[in-house]
């Protein structure tokens, strides 16, 4: 993970947290293929690296990510458009199913594919300067990096249709009131707040975070009885873990647990 040659994304590892900064400010961090390639490589690296327990995605400048790259897409017809959507969807699926928590620290414009990138993360913390929107209809296309699916699942279909049909941009506070973001903080506190929340999450048993993430995400695709079966199976796995022994022992001994991720 440390030896990646990156141009459009900055990657820092602080302790056990990877901080991914989208860094193509001249295009407000729009996702051209080169940037998607880099994001893909980074996510694979984080997935494989046992030392990394969580990731934060943010952006440099006034953009978080202003969407798919319009310059790149302009000549696309059906096949290229579909392939582009497929490639980004695959990467965002990897983020969503990463066995570690991912927080979007949304610093600025999160539009189109940028909003969809944030939606593939587990939590969204927004700066007061953040702006969200799905403006694809202005360009004659539909959100297709997961937006027509993840947005209504998160905020309900009425609100999702409002954003997708009107293409309007919403500021952080409105995004919060819609349930699109978890918390709004002043711009200069954004990264610290995301790190603090991540520190809390990774102090828990990693397997408990991983399996609750799977149960929530996969369960949303199932009917209730199958989802509850899944929940029971995953619970059984956590009961078989050493971290469960440690967590319950520590509670009864009135001390903090020392989890070993087993
Ligand atoms: C390519 C982009 C871009 C994008 C901004 N830029 N967004 N380039 N793709 N998505 C470029 C601008 O062209 C400009 O380049 C530079 O970034 C700065 O942007 P400005 O427009 O000058 O800044 P500002 O006036 O502050 O306006 C900010 C903005 C606006 C409101 C965010 O840039 C904007 O509306 N961007 C487009 C957002 C969008 O529609 N995204 C959805 C894309 S579709 P120059 O060279 O002029 O300095 C999508 C999914 C489709 O994401 C999937 C299909 C497969």
Band (pLDDT 50/70/90 cuts) for residue 262 is confident
Using the mean position of ligand 1's atoms as its centre, give its distance from the Cα of residue 163 in Å.
17
Is 136 an active-site residue? Answer: yes
- What does pLDDT average to over the chain? 97
Beta carbons within 8 Å of 151's beta carbon, 6+ residues apart = 115, 116, 119, 134, 143, 160, 163, 164, 180
C-alpha 6/C-alpha 75 separation (Å) is: 26
Q: Give nearest CA residue, ligand 1 atom 7.
A: 66
Ligand 1 pocket (Cβ < 6 Å) reads 27-28, 30, 66-71, 73, 81, 84-85, 109, 111-113, 135-136, 139, 141, 143-145
What is the mean predicted confidence (pLDDT) over 233-261?
97
ipTM of the complex: 0.98
pTM over 0.80: yes
Segment holding 43, helix H or strand E: helix 33-48
Q: Give nearest CA residue, ligand 1 atom 14.
A: 27
Is 86 an active-site residue? Answer: no
Look at residue 153 and tell me whether its pLDDT is greater than 80.
yes
Q: Residue 24 carries which DSSP code? A: -
**Confidence at residue 246, expressed as pLDDT on a 0 to 100 scale:** 98
């Amino acid at each position: 993970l440390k030896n990646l040659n990156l141009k459009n994304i900055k990657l820092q590892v602080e302790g056990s947290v990877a901080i991914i900064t989208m860094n193509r400010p001249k295009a407000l961090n729009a996702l051209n293929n080169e940037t998607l390639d880099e994001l893909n490589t980074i996510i694979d690296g984080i997935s494989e690296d046992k030392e990394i327990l969580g990731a934060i995605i943010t952006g440099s400048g006034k953009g978080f990510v202003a969407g798919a790259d319009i310059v790149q897409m302009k000549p696309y017809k059906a096949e290229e458009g579909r392939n582009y959507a497929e490639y980004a969807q695959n990467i965002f699926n990897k983020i969503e199913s990463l066995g570690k928590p991912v927080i979007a620290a949304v610093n600025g414009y999160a539009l189109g594919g940028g909003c969809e990138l944030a939606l593939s993360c587990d939590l969204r913390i927004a700066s007061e300067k953040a702006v969200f929107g799905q403006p694809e209809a202005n360009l004659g296309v539909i959100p297709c990096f997961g937006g027509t699916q993840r947005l209504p699942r998160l905020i309900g279909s009425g609100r999702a249709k409002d954003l997708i049909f009107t293409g309007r941009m919403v500021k952080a506070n409105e995004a919060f009131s819609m349930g699109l973001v978890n918390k709004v903080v002043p711009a200069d506190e954004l990264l610290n707040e995301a790190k603090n929340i991540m520190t809390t999450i990774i102090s828990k048993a990693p397997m408990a975070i991983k399996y609750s993430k799977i149960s929530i995400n996969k369960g949303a695709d199932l009917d209730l009885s199958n989802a509850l079966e899944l929940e029971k199976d995953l619970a059984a796995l956590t009961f078989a873990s050493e971290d469960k022994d440690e967590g319950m022992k520590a509670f009864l001994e009135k001390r903090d647990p020392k989890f070993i991720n087993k």
